[in-house]
Chain A
Amino acid sequence: MNIVTPFFQQCTRTPNHIAFFEAENQLSYSELKEIILRIATYFQNHNIQNQCIAIALDRGIHAACCIYGILAAGAIYLPLDIKNPAPRLKVIIEDAQPRFVIGFGPSPEWLIETDKWLDYSQIPTTHSHLTPLEKTPTALAAILYTSGSTGKPNGVALSHQALSNFSSWAQKTFSINQKERIASLTPFHFDLSIFDLFTSLSSGASVYFMPTHLTLMPSRLTDWLDEHQISCWYTVPSLLSFIGLKGSLEKKSLPHLNQIIFAGEVFPTVHLIKLTNLLPDVIFYNLYGPTETNVSCYWKIDRERLNPQENIPIGHSACQAKLTINSDTGELIVNSINNFSGYWIQGKLEPIDSDNYATGDKVSLNQYGEYCYHGRLDRMLKCSGYRVEPAEIEQYISQLVGIQNCAVIGINDIASGQRPAAVVVLERDIDLAEVIKPLRKQLPTYMQPCKFKVLDKMPALSNGKIDYQAIQALFNS
């Protein structure tokens, strides 16, 4: 088994069909295969079997070629969020201990071991006619770093069978075929990209990489969908809300668009109703699942049942996942072939000891037997579709000079789900602005607290633990 094998089979069936399209560039299946083989040959010559290779490239054709090349060669891909500030990238590299870090140009300042750097443009143009290396189903394919509750980013390790299971489920469920034009906007370190990368090319579909700046111009974004005759798009609700409100859809019909799939956060039903009304012929799906299980629930939006006062359900089991609810806590437990193999810690896999993954999400079943989501059992936040652990932000704040204590909570926000906010206790009478200045360079935008409050003393419960509810109340008042 290898997650990239279906693509190679597709190359024989549809060699001249467009595989990737990005701005002025486009690659047919056979042209793409040539590039992938070049990259795979280079890596195979370096004995990288089952080793992790980090990709420091923006989302797009080059990064996607690297992913396929790495996998065909039998290695594991680790997509970095190169918009992350250098200190966070350094932490991830130190933890992942990749064999190579691939990017463009000279080695970046955040990479200490510069001998690991590989300039993409220096990869030789010659290749051998290799076929994707056969892997055992449990062999690792990807490591996706998410925010970690221990205060450090966490590498979620996914196997070839986990990716394949999701990819073929999605292909079947959404009837993806070679006529499909799939818009891709999700960065590759985000699990939504597994659809864009693998379901697409396994089915013979074409992937259209959407220019990132279009997310700032909703009306141009909907023009782009129309011009490129996009038929399917898997993205996050916050962006869909934006185009529903400001994408000039009243004046456009987008006749080619058949399906919109969304996941990553709760879609405010008011905004969803607005969008479904503007796109009456489009089928919408809500997908649910943490990175550790990928998609484990899905709901095909039933327009008749949309009620502005109610959140939509996360629906039924997806990808043959066995779902149970912990009767004491209401927590959703997922047993699925999609499930991750464990966390990647200090350069190796720390395997999980159970087939059951406790999601930390509170759920219930409704009258239709569908699962409904009721928030987190722990402190995790969802900010603009990103999962954010307050502990990771606290870790950075507490290391700043002048901070005695700090706590981070989430403020609800109609546009971006939640946003972090912080309370701090200062060591002495100093200027907060001065103290928190370094954070700008340490945390990605979506992790930056949007509000700070200075307190004399941290609110505490009688057992001495931080009273997060009291802190929450401070921001709500």
Chain B
Amino acid sequence: MKQEIRNFIFNELIFVAEPTKFSDDDNLIDSGLDSMGIMRLIMFLEEQFSVTLPDSEIDPDNIKSINTLEKWILLHKA
């Protein structure tokens, strides 16, 4: 799951010179993930992992890193 999220983010949303050195805890928002990126990311995640992510939970705490994203998705996949 992490790899799929990483691929989408680094191919489609933000430009990171060396994605391989970007850790799963590094901050995506500080690296340029903005509101437009978040909107596309959520549409991707919902479709890719067949999950509904509640509007009220869309916030930097859940979106800030690959790890928090994975945790958030798994919470709703159960």
Interface residues of A (CB under 8 A from B): 213, 215-220, 238-239, 241-242, 245-248, 384, 413-416, 433-434, 436-437, 439-440, 445-446, 448-451
Query: Which residues from B are CB-within-8-Å of A434?
Result: 17
B35 within 8 A of A: yes
Q: Mark B3-18, 1 if CB is under 8 A from A, else 0.
A: 0000000011111111
On whether the beta carbons of B32 and A218 are closer than 8 Å, the reply is: no
On whether the beta carbons of A238 and B36 are closer than 8 Å, the reply is: yes
Decide: A216 near B39, CB < 8 A? Known: A433-B17, A440-B17, A445-B32.
no
Query: Which residues from A are CB-within-8-Å of B18?
Result: 433, 437
Q: How far is the CB of B60 from chain A (nearest CB, A)?
A: 5
- Count how many chain B residues have C-beta atoms less than 8 Å from C-beta atoms of the other chain: 25
On whether the beta carbons of A220 and B32 are closer than 8 Å, the reply is: no
Query: Which residues from B are CB-within-8-Å of A219?
Result: 55-56, 58
Q: How far is the CB of B19 from chain A (nearest CB, A)?
A: 8
Query: Which residues from B are CB-within-8-Å of A213?
Result: 60
| A239–B40 alpha-carbon span in the complex (Å) | 12
Known: A216-B38, A218-B55, A415-B36. 19 other contacts (CB 8 A): A216-B29, A216-B35, A217-B59, A220-B56, A238-B36, A241-B39, A245-B39, A245-B43, A246-B42, A246-B58, A248-B55, A248-B56, A384-B36, A433-B18, A437-B18, A440-B15, A446-B34, A449-B15, A450-B15
On whether the beta carbons of B34 and A384 are closer than 8 Å, the reply is: yes
On whether the beta carbons of B39 and A246 are closer than 8 Å, the reply is: yes
The A interface is mostly helix, strand or loop, or mixed, namely: helix
Query: Which residues from A are CB-within-8-Å of B12?
Result: 450
| A437–B16 alpha-carbon span in the complex (Å) | 8
Query: Which residues from B are CB-within-8-Å of A246?
Result: 39, 42, 55, 58
| A245–B38 alpha-carbon span in the complex (Å) | 12
| A218–B35 alpha-carbon span in the complex (Å) | 9
B18-37 interface (Cβ within 8 A of A): 18, 29, 32, 34-37
| A440–B63 alpha-carbon span in the complex (Å) | 21
| A414–B58 alpha-carbon span in the complex (Å) | 20
B29-78 interface (Cβ within 8 A of A): 29, 32, 34-40, 42-43, 55-56, 58-60, 63
Decide: A216 near B32, CB < 8 A? Known: A439-B17, A449-B15.
no
On whether the beta carbons of A216 and B55 are closer than 8 Å, the reply is: no
Query: Which residues from B are CB-within-8-Å of A245?
Result: 39, 43
Q: How far is the CB of A43 from chain B (nearest CB, A)?
A: 35
| A439–B14 alpha-carbon span in the complex (Å) | 13
On whether the beta carbons of A242 and B36 are closer than 8 Å, the reply is: yes
Q: How far is the CB of A167 from chain B (nearest CB, A)?
A: 28
Q: How far is the CB of A164 from chain B (nearest CB, A)?
A: 32
Query: Which residues from B are CB-within-8-Å of A220?
Result: 56, 59
Question: Which residue of chain A is the closest to B63 with respect to CB atoms?
Answer: A216
| A450–B63 alpha-carbon span in the complex (Å) | 19
| A163–B12 alpha-carbon span in the complex (Å) | 38
Decide: A448 near B35, CB < 8 A? Known: A220-B59, A246-B55, A439-B15.
no
Query: Which residues from A are CB-within-8-Å of B34?
Result: 215-216, 384, 445-446
On whether the beta carbons of B17 and A216 are closer than 8 Å, the reply is: no
On whether the beta carbons of B15 and A238 are closer than 8 Å, the reply is: no
| A414–B43 alpha-carbon span in the complex (Å) | 11
Decide: A437 near B15, CB < 8 A? Known: A219-B58, A242-B35, A248-B55.
no
